[in-house]
Structure 1
Amino acid sequence: MPRLSVWIAALGLSALGASAANAQSMSLTSADIKEGATIANEQVFKGFGCAGGNVSPALSWSGAPGGTKSFAVSIYDPDAPTGSGWWHWVVFNIPAATTSLPKGAGETKKKLMPKGAIQSRTDFGSDGYGGPCPPAGDKPHHYQITVFAVDVDKLPDAKNDSASAALVGFDLHFHTLAKATLTGLYGR
């Protein structure tokens, strides 16, 4: 449980590891998901009773602080009825020169990620993007998309696509310089 607490703290529920000034200077936008708006069916998971396109959204970020050596991106649903939320996408070791990911980059077979970036295991049990798919009848869930500016070019403990979200979060807890979050909503 201690690592889970560290992961949750590192991924947007607290500002540990990022000064208030840095946290305010970074921004994250998407042509596909707007802050507080309903997520389109194109991004929704295909499976578990959902019939979406399961296409990861295009993302762009700016304002990373000096000293940024890489980025990480995650999509997390804190409303999932699991006791610990649900990780929909975990990407790390994104090169520092990268400031965007194209739509569909979460499909590992398409190879749209920058060289060196790793898409690790989600709570669906596989690597790559898994879109929203909350239980039917729930209120809309909040899908927190976060980009992290990281002070190392490669996370020290999370080394490959089998790394769990908790392990990636453990590394991010100690290496995040700043972050920005965009939250979309989806319910069915």
Structure 2
Amino acid sequence: MGALASRVNPKAAKDAILSRYKPGTGFGTAIFDAHNGFNELNQYLMLWNVAYQWNRGSRFAFNQYHHWVRCLVRSEPGEPAHVIHSKEGITQGDCFAMSLYGVVLIPLASRMREAIPKALQPWYCNDAGVARKVMLNAQCLDYFLMKFGPAYSYFPEPCKSHYICKAEDEPAACQAFESFGLEINHSRG
């Protein structure tokens, strides 16, 4: 018994006890992709959210987006740039745009955490992720993001989203997403 005890890794034994994984439950991670909302973002909603969620950045955002935004596009070197005016969306290529888009999605992410608190939900700009049992992950996409996302200029695209799980959990994962009528890509590892 002493020889066997010396071969057991105490860290691995502790990790096995603390693990939330149960085989066959569809436990995994969903990575949800959304339609590029930068171009369809409501500027007034963005300025409102920035004013209340990120007060220090609000003056800079207001000065940059309270009027028609000018996007300069060059087709040929040495030729004058084409000027495109826009009153909707935020300018892609603007370093500040990703921060602003993230601030706009703070209320959506907060509401989803309140509605489905058991799911781990990391967000990065317009990409959301959920890690837990498959039914919670499917609910996050169907029940929440598909219904409430468009009001926040977040348009999920299940066909571009991925569910990552072990091979023994894939049948349960496929069945859960299909029960909600969602076609999502599945992968392992």
The TM-score range, normalised by the shorter chain, is: under 0.3
Q: By percentage of residues, which structure has more strand?
A: 1
Q: When the two structures are superposed, what TM-score results if normalisation uses the length of structure 2?
A: 0.23
Q: Which has the larger radius of gyration?
A: 2
Q: By percentage of residues, which structure has more helix?
A: 2
